[in-house]
Amino acid sequence: MIKKMGIAIFPLLLVASVYGQQPEWQGDLKELFKGPEAPSQYGQWWKSMQEWRKRVRDSLRYTDTVYLRPELGWTARSFIYAQVMAHDRWLYDPSTRKYTVDRYLNDCKRRYGGLDAVLIWPTYPNIGVDDRNQFDLVSDMPGGLAGVRQMVMDFKKRGVRVFFPIMIWDRGTHDIGIPMPVALVQEMKAIGADGLNGDTMFGVTDDFLHACDSLEYPLVLQPEVAINDLKMTEWNQMSWGYFWKYAFVPGVSAPKWLEPRHQVQVTNRWIIDKTDDLQYAFFNGVGYNAWENIWGIWNQVPERHAEAIKRIAAIYRQFPGVWNSAGWRPHVPTLQKGVFASLFPGTDIWIYTLVNRDSADCNGRQLRVSYEEGLRYFDLWHGRELAVRREGNMATLEFSVEGRGYGAVLAARSYALDSSFFRWLSQMRMRGSRPLKDYPADWSPLEQRIAPIGSMEVGKDREGMVFIPGTEKYLFESKGVMIEGDDLPTAMGVQHPWEKHPSRNQQHMMRISSFYMDEYPVTNRQFKSFMDATHYRPEDPHNFLKDWTGGDYPRGWDDKPVTWVSIEDARAFARWTGKRLPHEWEWQYAAQGGTGRLYPWGEKMDSSRMPLPDTGRSRRPPSDVHAFPEGVSPFGIKDMVGNVWQWTDEYADIHTRSAILKGGSYYRPRTSMWYFPQALEVNKYGKYLLMAPGIDRAGTIGFRCAADGPSDKKKH
492 band by pLDDT with thresholds 50, 70 and 90: confident
Across the range 62-85, mean pLDDT stands at: 97
Across the range 492-507, mean pLDDT stands at: 93
Neighbours of 462 (CB within 10 A): 12
- In three-state form (DSSP H/G/I as H, E/B as E, the rest C), the secondary structure along 518-575 is ECCCCEHHHHHHHHHHHCCCCCCCCCCCCCCECCECCCCCCCCECCCCCHHHHHHHHH
Residue 158 in contact with residue 91, Cβ under 8 Å? no
pLDDT of 2 reads 33
Give the DSSP per-residue string, 289-346. Answer: E---EETTEE-PPPHHHHHHHHHHHHHHHHSTTSTT-TT-EEEE--SSTTEEEEEEE-
- In three-state form (DSSP H/G/I as H, E/B as E, the rest C), the secondary structure along 98-121 is EECHHHHHHHHHHHHCCCCEEEEE
Indicate the pTM of the whole model. Answer: 0.94
Interhelix angle for 303-318 vs 419-432, to 10°? 170
Based on the number of CB atoms within 10 Å of its own CB, is 281 exposed (0-12), middle (13-18) or buried (19 or more)?
buried
Pairwise CA distance, residues 110 & 272, whole Å: 20
Beta bridge partners of 645: 701
Across the range 399-414, mean pLDDT stands at: 97
Residue 673 in contact with residue 483, Cβ under 8 Å? yes
Q: Is the peptide bond before 125 cis (omega within 30 degrees of 0)?
A: yes
667-686: pLDDT as tens digits: 999 999 999 999 999 999 99
Pairwise CA distance, residues 100 & 118, whole Å: 14
pLDDT of 4 reads 28
Three-state DSSP state, 286? coil
Across the range 210-239, mean pLDDT stands at: 97
Examine the pLDDT at 246 and tell me if it is beyond 50: yes
Q: Which region, left, alpha or beta, applies to residue 639 given φ > 0 means left and ψ of -120 to 50 means alpha?
A: left
Across the range 24-37, mean pLDDT stands at: 93
Percent of the chain with pLDDT over 90: 91
Examine the pLDDT at 583 and tell me if it is beyond 80: yes
pLDDT of 225 reads 93
Pairwise CA distance, residues 101 & 85, whole Å: 13
Examine the pLDDT at 11 and tell me if it is beyond 80: no
Examine the pLDDT at 93 and tell me if it is beyond 60: yes
Examine the pLDDT at 8 and tell me if it is beyond 90: no
Determine how β-strand 263-266 pairs with β-strand 32-33.
unpaired
Query: Up-side HSE of residue 72: CA atoms within 13 Å toward CB?
Result: 24
Listed residue (247, 174, 305) closest to 24, CA to CA? 247
pLDDT of 461 reads 64
Residue 510 in contact with residue 453, Cβ under 8 Å? no
Beta bridge partners of 117: 81, 161
Percent of the chain with pLDDT over 70: 95
Which of 22-31, 40-49, 420-429, 627-636 shows the lowest per-residue confidence on average (mean pLDDT)?
22-31
pLDDT of 14 reads 34
Which of 222-226, 313-317, 484-488 shows the lowest per-residue confidence on average (mean pLDDT)?
484-488
Examine the pLDDT at 440 and tell me if it is beyond 50: yes
Q: What is the mean pLDDT of the chain?
A: 94
Pairwise CA distance, residues 651 & 649, whole Å: 7
User: 440: which DSSP letter?
Assistant: -
Pairwise CA distance, residues 579 & 533, whole Å: 16
Q: How many residues make up the chain in this entry?
A: 716
Residue 687 in contact with residue 658, Cβ under 8 Å? yes
Question: Residue 210: enclosing H or E segment and its boundaries?
Answer: helix 206-214
Beta bridge partners of 239: 264
Pairwise CA distance, residues 429 & 426, whole Å: 5
Q: To the nearest 5 percent, what fractions of the chain are helix, strand and coil?
A: 25, 25, 50
Pairwise CA distance, residues 245 & 251, whole Å: 10
Pairwise CA distance, residues 257 & 566, whole Å: 50
543-575: pLDDT as tens digits: 999 999 999 999 999 999 999 999 999 999 999
Based on the number of CB atoms within 10 Å of its own CB, is 612 exposed (0-12), middle (13-18) or buried (19 or more)?
exposed
281-308: pLDDT as tens digits: 999 999 999 999 999 999 999 999 999 9
Across the range 438-450, mean pLDDT stands at: 96
Listed residue (343, 391, 398, 348) closest to 370, CA to CA? 391
pLDDT of 275 reads 98
User: 432: which DSSP letter?
Assistant: H
Tell me the residue type at 263: Q
Pairwise CA distance, residues 371 & 340, whole Å: 21
Domains of the chain: residue spans and CATH: 449-708 (3.90.1580.10)
Residue 28 in contact with residue 198, Cβ under 8 Å? no
Pairwise CA distance, residues 565 & 563, whole Å: 5
Which of 4-13, 507-516, 704-713 shows the lowest per-residue confidence on average (mean pLDDT)?
4-13
Pairwise CA distance, residues 107 & 647, whole Å: 32
pLDDT of 72 reads 97
Question: Residue 266: enclosing H or E segment and its boundaries?
Answer: strand 263-266
Residue 494 in contact with residue 502, Cβ under 8 Å? yes
Across the range 133-160, mean pLDDT stands at: 98
Beta bridge partners of 352: 343, 409
196-222: pLDDT as tens digits: 999 999 999 999 999 999 999 999 999
Pairwise CA distance, residues 670 & 169, whole Å: 10
The edge-to-edge listing of strands for the beta sheet with 388-391 is 365-370, 394-398, 388-391
First to last CA, the chain: 63
Determine how β-strand 388-391 pairs with β-strand 349-356.
unpaired
Determine how β-strand 263-266 pairs with β-strand 238-241.
parallel
Give the DSSP per-residue string, 128-187. Answer: TSSS--HHHHHHTSTTHHHHHHHHHHHHHHTT-EEEEEEETT--SS---SS-HHHHHHHH
pLDDT of 568 reads 98
Pairwise CA distance, residues 239 & 402, whole Å: 30
Residue 161 in contact with residue 116, Cβ under 8 Å? yes
Question: What is the rounded radius of gyration, in angstroms, for the C-alpha atoms of the chain?
Answer: 29
**Cα separations (Å) of 106 from 59, 224, 333?**
46, 26, 40
Examine the pLDDT at 119 and tell me if it is beyond 80: yes
User: 580: which DSSP letter?
Assistant: B
Residue 342 in contact with residue 330, Cβ under 8 Å? yes
